[in-house]
A and B are shown apart, each in its own frame.
Chain A
């Protein structure tokens, strides 16, 4: 089986599993919407201060909903020993990892497709009013999150305190991705020159590439024990 067909088989299986169980996207979506709605009560209508912080609120909801989804996604692999069965398959183990990472990326993007329009309405900010560059931020930020999140969810899923362990491991390493995503998003929300966001996008791109390459190189060693 080729590398890409292994990745595709894992993604297809994950999508089918989610289509039937609706465990991951629904819980992520509920959490994400709830966060955005609750924080919308903080700001007075027309508050200028609001525009400086709402980017952070959006990414916070994306990040914590993502952590919830990652835990659930890995639980479906651990229950019944499925992850062991995947590791026993005669395929490159990094292809299994990238299959899982792409599935998690897709689940998170689906959640954002619903949360972002709601965010725009509730906070009365049009993040797309200068360009569609925020889409790049969402795509790159989410990929970085999915790669690292999938890796750490695999590491933490067999611990007794997995719900606590995953954010403890993931969030410190995710700081550059969260920081770059929030800063870039704030530039679009405040209507500043789009070119100012390029340095943050470059930072996101560098981290995405580094994380992807490093995980590709070390995944076999990580899952061995």
Chain B
């Protein structure tokens, strides 16, 4: 039997006295779209940070295709593309300059063609030479999506990606996520938006007070049932 793509094994994360993640064991397979829900301070962002090697577990192990993350080299991080509510962009640089910088860090080939293709998808190609400082929130998020997908990552991690987006930007993001999912990318999304998260994903999870309290295939529950489960889980 093949190893899961990512496996958390009894993972704990403590910040001083705060137990941000408490004995979490879960695994994700290739091609899954997992939406993770939970109230503020539940440990969702810590979960994503651990996944992307931004921080290490206090105890327990995280495995990538059977190999502990701590044994993998730096280039392992190229498998992740992270879209956060923060844009990860330099405001004084243009979109093109920002993307070229990140493309070089990720060792992207044919940088100009790749940027042109992605900026076209998010409808920002005409604004490529404008300073990012002048972009609206929606445009910033669209550019942030481009930055995260530059190196065509296997795993796309999204932390509250819909925060502050207008309808147009929201639609573009959804379209891109559907395309990624169809192309068998693994997507792990933390969101507060119950309907958007439910509709897009193939698996649903709820984290509360650092514990994984719900983990189910989406096909096994309806939205109403899930909302009920969520309300009970977090109350």
Residues of A within 8 A of B (CB): 1, 5-6, 9, 12-13, 16-17, 20-21, 76, 79-82, 84-93, 224-225
Contact = CB atoms under 8 A, between A and B. Distances in A.
B82 A88 contact: yes
A84 B78 contact: no
A6 B86 contact: no
B84 interface: yes
A20 B90 CA distance: 11
A76 B80 contact: no
Contacts of A82: 88-90
Question: Which of A5, A91, A92 is the most central at the interface, judged by chain B CB atoms within 10 Å of its CB?
Answer: A91
Question: Which of B55, B82, B101 is the most central at the interface, judged by chain A CB atoms within 10 Å of its CB?
Answer: B101
B182 interface: no
Interface stretch (B61-69, B91-99, B164-172, B219-227): B91-99
B74 A84 contact: no
B69 to A, nearest CB: 12
A1 B107 contact: yes
Interface residues of B, number: 31
B55 A224 contact: yes
A91 B74 contact: yes
Contacts of A1: 104-107
B52 A88 contact: yes
Interface of B: 15, 52-56, 74-78, 80, 82, 84, 86-93, 97, 101-102, 104-107, 131, 147
B56 A224 contact: yes
A9 B54 contact: no
Contacts of B77: 88-90
A9 B105 contact: yes
B134 to A, nearest CB: 13
24 contacts: A9-B105, A13-B93, A17-B92, A20-B92, A20-B131, A21-B92, A79-B91, A80-B90, A81-B84, A81-B86, A81-B87, A81-B88, A84-B84, A85-B88, A85-B102, A85-B147, A89-B106, A90-B75, A90-B77, A90-B78, A90-B106, A91-B74, A91-B105, A225-B55
Contacts of A88: 52-54, 77, 80, 82
Given A87-B54, A88-B52, A6 B90 contact: no
